[in-house]
Structure 1
Amino acid sequence: MASQSNYGSHDSLHSDADELTAQAKRNNKSFSETTLTSNDNTGPSEPEENTLLYSTTSSARNDERWYNRPSIPIICVLMFLLCLSDMLFFTPNVGLTMTKVCTHLNDENIEDPEYQCDPAEVQVIVSEITSATLIISGVITTGTSMKWGGVSDRIGRVRALAYMGTIKVIGNLLHTLALLPSSPYSRWLIILTSCINAFTGGTFAFMATANSYVSDVTKQKDRTVQLSVVLSIMHATMGIGPMLSSFLIKFSDGRDQVPLFGSIAIGAIFTLLCFKLVREPRTEESRLKSQSEHDKHLQQMQEKKKSMVSDADNSKEKILAYTKYYAIEIFGLYKPMKKLWLKPTETGSLIPRYTVILLLALDLLSMSATIAMGPALILFATYRYNWRSVELGYLVSLLGILRSLMLVVLAPLLLKLLKKKFTALDRSVDNVDIISLRGSMICIFIGLCCMIRWNKHFQAIILYGFFASLGAIDSPTIQSTIIKYCSKNNTGEYFGGIALIRSFAMFVIPPLLLKIYASTVETKPELFFYVPLVSIAIAIFLTMFLGVHEEEQYSDSDVMSIDTTTDGMD
């Protein structure tokens, strides 16, 4: 293994760290400087080795300031700031859009003094705006989310987050200007400005980058719990953000614009922290290695382009050659996703490949019953219960707090109990994973049944949120289990591949649910709930095909996905 060849055993790691500390004191240098120098002079290292150097050595903790040490608390702070910025923007955005549409309808019918905008008509128009936004954003997100994982491998997790923050600040500012009462109404201006954030790769790209950060600073045995902690921060912020937004609206005499400007300010703080203060967890050597592989791929593509064009004898053949080359380039964008198509093991087993595919399918089905139904659920609440920004803020806050409590309190206890009864495996799916997934999906199924049965009462949403929060462990469990089968050298690309697949799902499922909702809002608005209900039922059935297999000691080369640097070029 790479860890043995470079550093030896974990005991020698600690002794090496002690020697570095003593040397640093003799030279009046900080431990961190000596460690970084040491890393540059050693061979390739894996994230768990970096974790020992950065996080577990007492000298490092004493000599470095807390904000200079890559750690779980640091990424939690960044997660909190960015999610708070998003959630402050979310609920007022819905209310402002509906107000903008209603004002526009009133202006169009100004000659009729008795006319008042019809809530059902507003719902249909806002659904169309939201659907168009989701489709356009989905196209953009699909083209960008897959790239952020590889970018974070090359330039670092923190720098990638900084660029994401910059795009978000610009996008939120322009969208706020489009929704101001002083701005003229334009459906396409609202849609296009709301799509700017899609260039960050969306929430899934941000989560993939954050998960890569976690993977860099944690060991495999702790990864599910740590991913749950980070995800709980997101959901806790989903609870705090809308509630804070509601308070700001209430104490500013109903001005929905106030939380939007607060969102922009917090996004700017996040971006400045990433550019100026937060330290990168990925070593310079690892980044250079990823950059070298990327440059090699680009060089191969350029050589292939020259070869293809030089073989063309006339203009028609050159056009065909260029067309083929750029088609290869476009399909090359899906390289991170293809990495999840794992090679057979040395014994020819395809169990890792099929397991990863099954886990991805479970993730998509679970998403359709939770995250993907969010836009339609919000519109349903505004229509069925006549809720506006303040009430929606309280709703989203409650759902976020419930999920956060599950992830930060109940999930670690559950995992601890399961690990006492079952053996946890580092390189394969185990009973702990299977029971966690099946149980969480059954909880989501029960929540949806409650929503359908008692949808005329607002308490049904609370029941759904409670049971869905009990199933919140499914996402970190799925992602942690997938990473068990993947190479540790390019975790950013694997998480990027997962983000891409999730982006595809968000490109299709939410607009579909909104289309169903818009078509049935006047007759049976709750009909769209049956789609996620069927999806989660299928997911529960598919968990029956997950099984514990004898754990094999895969080497990095065994679990590396198919090399895509030359795929499709021959």
Structure 2
Amino acid sequence: MHEISEIEMTNSEIDHILESEYHDIESSENSDPNIAATTEHPLSKRFRDEIRQQHAHLNIWQRPSLFVICTIISLYSLSEMLFITPMITLSLNKICESLPQDTGINESTLCDMSHVQTITSFITCVKMVLSNLISLVVAGKIGPLSDRIGRSKIFVYMGSVTLIGNAMSAFSVSSYVDTHIYFIIFAGSITSFTGGTFALIANINSYITDVIEPSDRTVSMGTVGSIMHAMAGLAPLLSSFIIKVNNGNDMVSIYCSFLSISLFILICTFFVRESRHPEAMEMSEASHKKRQESMVSLHSIRLSVSNTFIHKIKQYIHFRIIKILDIFSPLKELWLPPTRQGSLIPRYNVLLLVTLDSIIIFATVAHMPALILFTTYEYNWKSIEIGYFISFSGISNAIILGIFSWCGTRWLQKKHTKLNYSVDRIDIKIFQFGFICIFIATIAFLINPSNYKSLLLYVVIKCVGGCMDPSLQSSITKYYGTNTGQLFGALALLHIIGMLISPAIMLGIYGITVSYKPETFMYLPLIACIIGFVLTYFLRVVYIEEPLFEETQINEGALSLTKIDSQVEPLI
């Protein structure tokens, strides 16, 4: 690989370079630290400043800020983890009740745990596919909807649906009903009408982009992620303690979960103020109405020129199909058009970043359902042990992510230029470091999977690699304007599509190999890390002092390149 060096260029030289899809520039590994950080587009800055002035008289727990989002997300995460931990044991026990049982030496009833694992794997797999299909439909609407009606209303909706769904799911495994596998699947899928975890994270990131400057978004997203992981770590400990104090009654932890999510709903309803500027919401609403009217108008024209009844029916069916496929409309946000000079560098970078984002999800999240089942089989863990493991994972993530977000990013900023409108060297170094860590973590686990200490080592090293997730989300936003709800909605759609397939594959592999080599599914994340690491070398850095695209043009979907004074740097 050639050593990279930076070259100062005039606008005409830049235009010539940007007209070519491929170009050779030799530059040094380090960027010039004397290059000033780029500034934010005036429209986004005005929206944020006006929102701050509008809420300046409010108390700190009401003003849109990082503090507020961390507080409410803490309650949501606490509720989810207090619910998930006992539900694992309750589900296993409920399935065991439905199977033929033997009487053990101490007169206790026993069932074939291998059979229970197979059924549980099936339930989890089907429920995940169904939930992701529902989330796929909802998440495609949630992102653009949050741009039109605001972030706080979406939080209230998500909290309400979560409360209803978790209540139904708890009822399906309670002693009040018989064991019905498909009822358990149905009840467990209700919460997916929120759009799922990825839609929640998308709304959180949209909230952050509303109130936080671009230069601080990576750290802010890392802080929120750290808070979520901390709650994910502390909640299972609290759940285990509650279950122990109540003589092993798992339902008490679930009741506490209901209390936490109820507080989340009340706070979001009566205390949290909207972070999105009213003018921005009006712009999004006008753009949405214009698009809908255009679709209806085109349909009416086609119907008017239809000569036969059959042709009218075909046009009607075509229109309905288009309306259904409209759930994928946010994905168009990821397909940036060529610049005025014909360059595809922005589109190239965004698509590559999105690919890396999907690989990260595959390597760090998709295998978790199979891994939890692995612990119940290989280590014979129950609710309490699973709670401790999730706590260890969450706390490790919180500490490591929190430290790296503040210290690691600041350290890298001293050595490389921080850019607001292009992926930069800081981002790329973090991506490469993250993939290396996850690769090493997976290898460490596969060396001795029968020892739970290998799993704990895997978690710690993987947490170090998890630092690249907030940096990647922040990198993608550099290419967009104020309608971040649509952007993060598009990312949520891709995540859900990935989660629709990946966990099902891993659970399927686990179900097939559980009797002789249950850790086989972990080889897939290993391969994903290698692919992701290689792809980071194809990202291109563009040093600019102005946005690549006009903000109004981004919102309208007609993008054009502004005049820039920049440097373009290939990494290969």
Q: Does 1:514 align with 2:507?
A: yes
State the AA in 2 paired with 1:259. S
Distance 2:134 2:55 in 1: 42
State the AA in 2 paired with 1:501. L
State the AA in 2 paired with 1:253. N
Q: Does 1:330 align with 2:324?
A: yes
Q: What is the CA-CA distance between 1:315 and the residue it aligns to?
A: 2.2
Match in the other structure for 2:7: none
Q: What is the CA-CA distance between 1:499 and the residue it aligns to?
A: 0.7
Match in the other structure for 1:134: 128
Distance 1:151 1:482 in 2: 20
Q: Does 1:262 align with 2:238?
A: no
SS in 1 for 2:111: coil
Inter-CA distance 558–270: structure 2 relative to 1 (3 Å threshold)? closer
Q: Does 1:535 align with 2:532?
A: no
Match in the other structure for 2:389: 395
Distance 1:460 1:78 in 2: 34
Q: What is the CA-CA distance between 1:109 and the residue it aligns to?
A: 11
Q: What is the CA-CA distance between 1:306 and the residue it aligns to?
A: 1.9
Q: Does 1:153 align with 2:135?
A: no
Match in the other structure for 1:11: none
Q: What is the CA-CA distance between 1:265 and the residue it aligns to?
A: 1.7
Instruction: State whether residues 205 and 221 of structure 2, in contact with CA within 8 Å, keep that contact through their aligned partners in structure 1.
Output: yes
Inter-CA distance 114–169: structure 2 relative to 1 (3 Å threshold)? closer
The count of corresponding residues between Structure 1 and Structure 2 is 515
Match in the other structure for 1:181: 175
Inter-CA distance 77–46: structure 2 relative to 1 (3 Å threshold)? farther
RMSD over aligned CA atoms reads 2.1
Instruction: State whether residues 375 and 510 of structure 1, in contact with CA within 8 Å, keep that contact through their aligned partners in structure 2.
Output: yes
Inter-CA distance 327–552: structure 2 relative to 1 (3 Å threshold)? farther
- More deviation, 490-499/290-299: 290-299
Q: What is the CA-CA distance between 1:331 and the residue it aligns to?
A: 2.1
Structure 1 gaps of 5+ residues are 1-43, 565-570
Distance 1:104 1:305 in 2: 53
State the AA in 2 paired with 1:423. T
Identity of aligned residues (%): 37
Q: Deviations over 1:316-372 (max 9, x none)?
A: 112111111112112221111111111112222111111111111111111112111
Distance 1:518 1:256 in 2: 27
Instruction: State whether residues 151 and 275 of structure 2, in contact with CA within 8 Å, keep that contact through their aligned partners in structure 1.
Output: yes
SS in 2 for 1:69: coil
Q: TM-score, normalised by structure 1?
A: 0.87
Inter-CA distance 562–135: structure 2 relative to 1 (3 Å threshold)? farther
Instruction: State whether residues 342 and 559 of structure 1, in contact with CA within 8 Å, keep that contact through their aligned partners in structure 2.
Output: no
Q: What is the CA-CA distance between 1:474 and the residue it aligns to?
A: 1.4
Match in the other structure for 1:163: 157
Q: Does 1:549 align with 2:542?
A: yes
Alignment equivalent of 1:48, drawn from 27, 45, 50: 45
Instruction: State whether residues 362 and 528 of structure 2, in contact with CA within 8 Å, keep that contact through their aligned partners in structure 1.
Output: yes
SS in 1 for 2:381: coil
Match in the other structure for 1:495: 488
Inter-CA distance 434–558: structure 2 relative to 1 (3 Å threshold)? farther
Structure 2 gaps of 5+ residues are 1-40, 559-572
Distance 2:108 2:84 in 1: 32
Q: Deviations over 1:77-115 (max 9, x none)?
A: 1111111111111111111111100111147999xx997
Distance 1:556 1:384 in 2: 56
Q: Deviations over 1:421-446 (max 9, x none)?
A: 11111101111000011101111111
* Greater share of residues in helix: 1
Q: Does 1:284 align with 2:278?
A: yes
Instruction: State whether residues 445 and 455 of structure 2, in contact with CA within 8 Å, keep that contact through their aligned partners in structure 1.
Output: yes
Q: What is the CA-CA distance between 1:540 and the residue it aligns to?
A: 1.0
Distance 2:340 2:302 in 1: 35
Q: What aligned pairs does 1:373-522 form with structure 2 within 5 A after superposition?
A: 373-486=367-480, 488-522=481-515
SS in 2 for 1:425: coil
Alignment equivalent of 1:560, drawn from 551, 554, 557: 554
Q: What is the CA-CA distance between 1:67 and the residue it aligns to?
A: 2.3
Q: Does 1:225 align with 2:222?
A: no
